[in-house]
Amino acid sequence: MFKNLSLNRLATLASSSVAFLLAISKVIVGFMTGSVAVIASAVDSILDMFVSIFNMIAVKVSESKADNMFNYGKGKIEGIAALFEGLLIIASSIFIFYTAIDRLVNHKTIQEINLAFYVMVASLVATFFLVMFLNYVAKKTDSLVIKSDALHYKTDLISNLAIVIVLIAVKFTGWYQIDFIVSIFIAIYIFKEATELVKEGFLNLLDVSLDFKSVEAIKEIIKKEPLVLDYHCLRTRQSGHRNFVDVHLVLTPDMKLKLAHTIIESVEEKIRKLDENKIWIINIHADPYDDSNINKIQEEC
């Protein structure tokens, strides 16, 4: 059944399934006990479920091949998914903050602490293994969607751990206000993490360049290539699991076309080996001289 699924799609299926099970259990226990922390975690799990389903669709779309309408593929949907997920997390953090303040002001208490504790421990264990798996897939594929999911569930893991500690403290001290106070700090932490996620998704949609390390590695490859006199107009971007590179290489003016083609293929091959898990779309233009000033005037680089 799962044989034909890519690693990214398998990861989103796992996160959707875990989020669904946790959401159901937390909603029931949250309202039975009256714990804001558990209710907040339940709301977050419900959002997780919808976001993970959306991410699963986004990964499937982003992996589709380029066609006549979408010549560069549909990888940008990963940026949209990250932006969407980040905004939902921000909304959930605001809800948690408001609920915690309301219960603190109105002196509401927690019931059935043992039940809340058991469901949160189970949630903690399930989330821990999910985060481990998502981190593995994120490192393997460098997918923005999976990175977003991993970050999201990492915040859940920290939140769940904090809630377990809070419930233990409430049980032994009887001071239920701890639950509400810690929930406020959890909401602030989640808000902070979500803004970073929104930023990353937004930058992806604006065609931000590849990371500094990758760009410097590409520059080194070009500089070390024999018979390449210089280069200019180096531009990079990422779209889903595809990396795009455009660059102009300055070659000897009277060089034969076959030799120029061999040099360009050599540079392309070395760039692709930087990350063999990615699909590299490389466009190299051969120049007989440095025409960067002309290109800058024409806004081509």
> Which has the closest alpha carbon to 249: 269, 233, 273?
233
Phi, psi of 203 (to 5 degrees): -65, -35
Angle at alpha carbon of residue 299, lines to 293 and 300, rounded to 5°: 85
3-state secondary structure of 136: helix
Mean pLDDT of 49-78: 74
State how far the Cα of 45 lies from the Cα of 193, in Å rounded to an integer: 16
Residue whose entry in the numeric block shows the structure tokens 């303040």? 101
C-beta separation of 203 from 236 below 8 A: no
Q: For position 258, what pLDDT does the model report?
A: 94
Q: For position 156, what pLDDT does the model report?
A: 77
State how far the Cα of 202 lies from the Cα of 183, in Å rounded to an integer: 28
> What residue type is 50 in one-letter code?
F
Residue 226 has pLDDT above 50, yes or no: yes
> 258 or 153, which is more confident?
258
3-state secondary structure of 206: coil
Angle at alpha carbon of residue 60, lines to 58 and 63, rounded to 5°: 105
C-beta separation of 280 from 272 below 8 A: yes
Domains, the chain, in order of start with CATH, read 7-205 (1.20.1510.10), 212-297 (3.30.70.1350)
Phi, psi of 272 (to 5 degrees): -60, -30
Render pLDDT for 136-185 as a digit per residue (tens, 0 to 9): 888 887 777 787 778 778 877 877 787 788 778 877 887 777 777 777 88
Counting residues of the chain whose pLDDT is more than 90, the rounded percentage is: 22
Render pLDDT for 82-107 as a digit per residue (tens, 0 to 9): 787 788 778 877 877 887 787 677 76
CA atoms within 13 A on the CB side of 72: 15
